[in-house]
């Protein structure tokens, strides 16, 4: 694949006010995307955003760029990323654009695109947009400028879609749930979904002010929701991230239930209903406990590179439905075209209601293995991963753990670090073995 100048694995992202997340660049990005997309069909795009203060500025810049390219714009205001994916499909729009930096702090932002089928843009379209960004910006004649309209019922439509993924005979009546919206894009949606299905909902972090998104709340910061669930004597807690595509949960005792455990619960329930088509895709970071637990149920399991894009690629290649990252990106292609925190929570709640067991009991089916991650800094230019002494020590540890655990070495994508990850049944043994590899990496 050609190297990219602006698009990363999840759109264009950066610090607000600095290129590429500056008003000038984002206007040009809207124009370039408009030019590339204008060749077909409806000439209409949808724009949603999370609750960051910079969303207003970037939304206006995108709108101006698309209008100059002759593309009509539907503005949805604050909307979860999966909602934009879903509505892009139902409106038959050319593309859906989300202004969000997901679980990052408020001073970051990003622009990500969905295709008309509600999936991430194909590589060739992203590359065509990058190429167009190098051209001088022009403007269609006045009569052909794009018009902008506000889509007022977007939230209601998406709430109904979420509820449609929870079987009609079931209800959440009698359940008391704490819902942490991360002061993000689900603040006006998630509590309503669970309430309308019958649950008693205690809201947390559902009052965004433009700056408090992901601040000590949400799926990347679980201490508050764990405490609240216990204090309020709730049945469970649901934590989403700033743009609503990640899910973490908490059982009634305040224990965090991560993406590996949640996908296990969803997969086992689907198998019991005889609705599991194929297996489960995890990533290189998925706990080996997930692999072993699925093995006992005769459910196939494969690992993809870290990133929901790669999980999706493997699902499609295998024609499977379920995939997840341990960070809480959960994909169920029976329900959605992308990771969706609210829908994944409903999949887990379905398993709870159908089995009449609580979250604490359901998660016992999978035992996570102790896992240790050691970060070792190395000198730029050197390559510890190809050093014979490091390779030899990895081999020794793999033989030691044969069939009982796992070793993974990978370079960080953002800084000169080697991540040494060892998993095994015994925490002390794991620590000793991880350090033995880390020492060899340091010696290089």
Residue 245 assigned to a binding site: yes
> Alpha helices of 273-358 — where are they, by DSSP H?
288-296, 308-318, 341-355
Spatial neighbors of 444 by CB under 8 A, at least 6 apart, are: 378, 382, 384, 387, 389, 390
| Strand, coil or helix: 177 | strand
**240 closest CA partner among 262, 222, 261:** 222
Q: Decide: helix, strand or coil at residue 90.
A: helix
The whole-angstrom separation of Cα 311 and Cα 305 is 7
Q: Which helix (H) or strand (E) holds 440?
A: helix 427-443
Question: Is residue 54 annotated as a catalytic residue, yes or no?
Answer: no
Q: Is 243 annotated as a binding residue?
A: yes
At 251, phi and psi to the nearest 5?
Answer: -80, 180
Annotation-wise, does 209 bind a ligand?
A: no
Copy the structure tokens of residue 396: 């020794």
Distance CA 20, CA 32 (A): 14
Out of 54, 100, 102, 206, the active site residue is 102
216 is annotated as contributing to ligand binding? no
d(CA 169, CA 180): 26
Q: Report the C-alpha gap between 100 and 405 in whole angstroms.
A: 37
> Do the Cβ atoms of 76 and 208 come closer than 8 Å?
no
Active-site residues, by number, are 102
* Residue numbering of the annotated binding site: 102, 241, 243, 245
């Amino acid at each position: 694949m050609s190297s990219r100048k602006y698009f990363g694995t999840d759109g264009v992202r950066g610090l607000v006010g600095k290129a590429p997340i500056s008003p000038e660049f984002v206007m040009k990005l809207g124009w370039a995307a408009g030019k590339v997309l204008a060749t077909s069909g409806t000439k209409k795009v949808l724009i949603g955003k999370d609750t960051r203060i910079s969303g207003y500025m970037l939304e206006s810049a995108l709108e101006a760029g698309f209008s100059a390219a002759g593309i009509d714009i539907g503005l949805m205001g604050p909307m979860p990323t999966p909602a934009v994916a879903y509505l892009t499909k139902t409106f038959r729009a050319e593309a859906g654009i989300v202004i969000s930096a997901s679980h990052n702090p408020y001073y970051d932002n990003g622009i990500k695109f969905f295709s008309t089928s509600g999936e991430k843009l194909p590589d060739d379209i992203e590359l065509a947009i990058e190429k167009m960004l190098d051209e001088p910006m022009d403007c269609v004649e006045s009569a052909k400028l794009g018009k902008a309209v506000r889509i007022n019922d977007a939230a209601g439509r998406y709430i109904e879609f979420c509820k449609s993924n929870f079987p009609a005979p079931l209800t959440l009546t009698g359940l008391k749930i704490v819902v942490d919206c991360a002061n993000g894009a689900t603040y006006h949606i998630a509590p309503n979904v669970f309430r309308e299905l019958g649950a008693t909902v205690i809201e947390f972090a559902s009052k965004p002010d433009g700056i408090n998104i992901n601040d000590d709340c949400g799926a990347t910061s679980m201490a508050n929701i764990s405490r609240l669930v216990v204090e309020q004597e709730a049945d469970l807690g649901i934590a989403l991230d700033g743009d609503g595509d990640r899910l973490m949960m908490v059982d009634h005792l305040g224990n965090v239930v991560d993406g590996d455990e949640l996908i296990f619960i969803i997969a086992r329930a689907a198998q019991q209903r005889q609705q599991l088509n194929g297996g489960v895709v995890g990533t290189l970071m998925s706990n080996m406990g997930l692999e072993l637990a699925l093995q006992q149920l005769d459910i196939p399991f494969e690992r993809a590179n870290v990133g929901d894009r790669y999980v999706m690629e493997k699902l499609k290649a295998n024609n499977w439905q379920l995939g997840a990252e341990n960070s809480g990106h959960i994909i169920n292609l029976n329900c959605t075209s992308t990771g969706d925190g609210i829908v994944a929570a409903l999949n887990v709640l379905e398993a709870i209601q159908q089995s009449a067991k609580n979250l604490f009991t359901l998660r016992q089916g999978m035992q996570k293995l102790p896992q240790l991650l050691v970060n070792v800094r190395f000198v730029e230019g050197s390559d510890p991963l190809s050093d014979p002494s490091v390779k030899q020590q990895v081999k020794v540890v793999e033989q030691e753990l044969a069939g009982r655990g796992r070793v993974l070495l990978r370079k960080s994508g953002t800084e000169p670090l080697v991540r040494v990850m060892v998993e095994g049944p015994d925490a002390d043994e794991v620590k000793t073995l991880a350090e033995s590899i880390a020492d060899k990496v340091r010696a290089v």
